[in-house]
Structure 1
Amino acid sequence: MSTKMHPILKPAQAMVLAAGLGKRMRPMTDKMPKPLVPVAGKPMLDHVLDRLGDAGFDRVVVNNHYLGEMISAHVAKRDFPLVVNSAEAELLETGGGVQNALPLLDDTAILVANADMYWTEGREPLFERMMDAFDAEHMDALLAIVPVEGAFGYDGAGDFFWQVDGRLKRRGSAPRAPYVFTGIQILNPRLFEGLLPGNFSLNVIYDRALESGRCYGLVHDGRWFHIGTPDALADAERTLAGQ
C-alpha cells in the first residue's frame, strides 16, 4: 500500500483501459496482454495503478478482454488500490469500454487512463495536476497532452492545437499539430448520454466535448513514452536506464 496519500481535490473515480489486443507488440503479446508487459521494472498496468493509489484513489475499475483472465489474476494479487474488473465478452474499444463500466463509476467525473503507456512525472504528479485543473463548471473533458517534439517513440503528425484559453482544437486538415494526446483524461459521464451500447472509440466523446467548447487540454511537463512495438520498448528501456 502507498504510504503517501494525496487528497482527491475533485469528485472523481478512476478507470484504467486494459482490454486492447496489443497487435503491434507481437510476439510479446501472443501470450501476455500488453498492459502486463514490463517497463522500468514492472508491468505498465502497475505503474498506472500505483500512481492512482498515490493520488488518493482507493478503488479503480479496470476493463479486460484479450487474455482478460491474466489481467484479473494479476490485479487480484495487489493490496492497493482495490481493483474492480469490468470484463468484456467482445472488444468494445475505448468508448464502449468506459460506457460499459459507467454503472461502476462516479456520476460526476471519471479519470480514465490507458494501461499500455509510460510516463515520468514533472514538477507535480500528473494525476494530481489533472484533478486540480478539472473545472466541472466549464469542462466536460480535460485531456493530458504533450508536445510532439518531446513524445518519445511517437512519429505521427500530432492530434491537437492547444488554444490560448486552454481549449483544444483537432488537427483536422492541417499537416501537423503541435500536441499529441497521452491517453490520460478526465471525463464528465454526461458525454455518454444517448449513445447506444456497443463498440466505439472515445473520439466520439471528445467530438461531443469539442463541439460544445468544453474540451480542454493540460500539458504534461514530464516525459511520455509511446510504446507501440518491441523495438520502441527496447529504446524506451535504454533511455530510462540512461537517465
Structure 2
Amino acid sequence: MSMPILFFAAGLGTRMGALTADKPKPLIKVAGKALIDHALDLAKDTDISKKVVNLHYHGDMIRDHLAGQPIIFSDESDMLLETGGGLRKALPLLNGNPVLTMNTDAVWNGPNPIRHILQAWRPEMEALLLLVEKRNVSGHLGKGDFHIDANGQLHRAPEAIYTGLQILRTDVLSEIAETAFSLNIAWNIIGARGGLYGTVYDGQWCDVGQPSSIEAAEAMLDV
C-alpha cells in the first residue's frame, strides 16, 4: 500500500544547546551526514507516494539543503504547531489517509524501519507505532512509552520506546480543538477506542536528542 510521509523538521532543538544556535537540528551531522538525510534515505526504495517536510526554525536552511529533491515543504514559520498541529496543517499537501510520519532526530541500524511498518500495517488499525525494546536503544533519556498486549494493541507503560515513526489514520485530528498540540492527544483518543497498535523494530535505534547522543549514534553505526 502506497502512502505519503511527513518528516518532522520544525522543532527548535533546544536540548542540543550551542549546536542549534545557528542551524536547525535536522542539519546536525552524524557520521558525516545530516540527520534529515539519514531519515530521507530510509524512504528510498520503499512504497512512499509523496514526501513532505515541515519547517519552522531556520526553515530556509533546510529548504536550501534539500533543494532539487522531490520534496514538498509545509511552512510553519508563523507558528510552531507541535506534531499534531503540524500534521494537520500538512494534510492538504500529503493528500492521503492513512499517512506515515517520521521524526528526523534519530539514526537506525538494521532493517529499513519504513519498510517494516508498512508491512505490519493492517486495515483494522487506526494508528500503528513502531517501537523498540530498551536493550536496542541508545541516547534516549525516557523511561519507556508503551506495553504491547497479545493482540498488538498499545497501553501506556514504561516499557517499549516509541521511535518516532508511525502510520496514522488522520480523521482523529478533526476531533481535537487545539491549534498546536502533540500527537499524544490523538493517540489517547485512538487508544481509548481500541485502535492504537504497535510493532517492534528488531534493529538498533539512537535518539539524537542531545549532544552526547551524536557519539552514541556513531558508535552504534560503528564509524
Take 1:70 and 1:11, find their aligned partners in 2: how far apart are those partners? 29
Query: Unpaired segments of 5 or more residues in structure 1?
Result: 1-9, 172-176
1:86-165 equivalences in 2 (<5 Å): 86-88=74-76, 89-122=78-111, 125-136=112-123, 138-165=124-151
Take 1:198 and 1:94, find their aligned partners in 2: how far apart are those partners? 11
1:36-115 equivalences in 2 (<5 Å): 36-57=27-48, 59-78=50-69, 82-88=70-76, 89-115=78-104
Comparing 96-105 with 45-54, greater Cα deviation is found at 45-54
Q: Show CA shifts across 1:197-233 (max 9, x none).
A: 6110010111111011011001001100011111121
Q: Confirm or deny that 1:167 pairs with 2:153.
A: yes
Equivalent residue letter for 2:209: G
Take 1:240 and 1:202, find their aligned partners in 2: how far apart are those partners? 29
- Secondary structure of the 1:193 match is helix
* Stretches (4+) displaced over 6 A: none
Q: Confirm or deny that 1:188 pairs with 2:179.
A: no
| 1:35 paired residue among 20, 26, 39 | 26
1:214-225 equivalences in 2 (<5 Å): 214-225=195-206
Q: State, as a whole percentage, how many aligned pairs show the same letter.
A: 38
Superposition TM-score, scaled by structure 2 size: 0.94
Q: CA deviation at 1:58?
A: 5.0
- Is the 1:99–1:197 Cα contact (8 Å) retained in structure 2? no
Take 1:106 and 1:61, find their aligned partners in 2: how far apart are those partners? 10
Query: Unpaired segments of 5 or more residues in structure 2?
Result: none
Q: Show CA shifts across 1:51-86 (max 9, x none).
A: 1122132520100100011111111143xxx10000
- Is the 1:148–1:154 Cα contact (8 Å) retained in structure 2? no
Q: CA deviation at 1:108?
A: 2.1
- RMSD over equivalenced CA pairs, Å: 1.5
Equivalent residue letter for 2:201: H
Comparing 196-205 with 216-225, greater Cα deviation is found at 196-205
- Secondary structure of the 1:55 match is coil
